[in-house]
Amino acid sequence: MPSRADPAVSAEDRAIVERLDLRYQAAVARNDVRTMDEILAEDFALVSSTGRVYSKSDLLNEARSGQFQYDRQDDTDRTVRVWGDTAVVTALLWAKGREAGKPFAYRVWFSDTYARIDGTWRYVLGHASGRLAWPEDGASSGGSVGPR
């Protein structure tokens, strides 16, 4: 097994985790339950910007319901850090869409933690900052819209 200090392994793992996180974000935007289920660890937890804690089943049920329709669900300023079998993705998420027909728009910084479990990277923990102003109108939508 290569050393944790091996830069080639670290670069490869960073690339794998980055692609996986991008794939996960795209799955959320499409309410793609199958892909989300594949990537999320069984004991996954997300601490949202409102302080609510979501489990894997919470997120999968939300996606199944289709209550959130995203026009935009992407991120910028992405950084991926890897320490052995643990990786953290940090980025600024831009989300805009509708919840049950009502529009929302917000930005949050998030940190997604991945762990290599039995040789496969899984999304194990997510955490989001407080909501930031949406640049178009200078204010974010409030409330508990969406899991971030």
| 140: pLDDT strictly greater than 70 | no
| 125: pLDDT strictly greater than 90 | yes
* 7-128: CATH, from 3.40.50.300, 2.60.40.10, 3.10.450.50, 3.40.50.720: 3.10.450.50
Mean pLDDT, residues 48-66 taken together = 95
| Average model confidence (pLDDT) across the chain | 88
Tens of pLDDT, residues 7-35? 666 889 999 999 999 999 999 999 999 99
- % of the chain residues with pLDDT over 70: 85
What is the residue extent of each domain of the chain? 7-128
* Contact of 65 with 46, CB cutoff 8 Å: no
Residue 142's pLDDT band (boundaries 50, 70, 90)?
very low
Selected residue with higher pLDDT from 136 and 21: 21
What's the rounded Cα separation, in Å, for the pair 108 and 61? 22
Q: Give the burial string for 131-144 (b: 16+ CB within 10 Å, else e).
A: bbebeeeeebbeee
Tens of pLDDT, residues 38-56? 999 999 999 998 899 999 9
pLDDT for 41 equals 98
| 2: pLDDT strictly greater than 90 | no
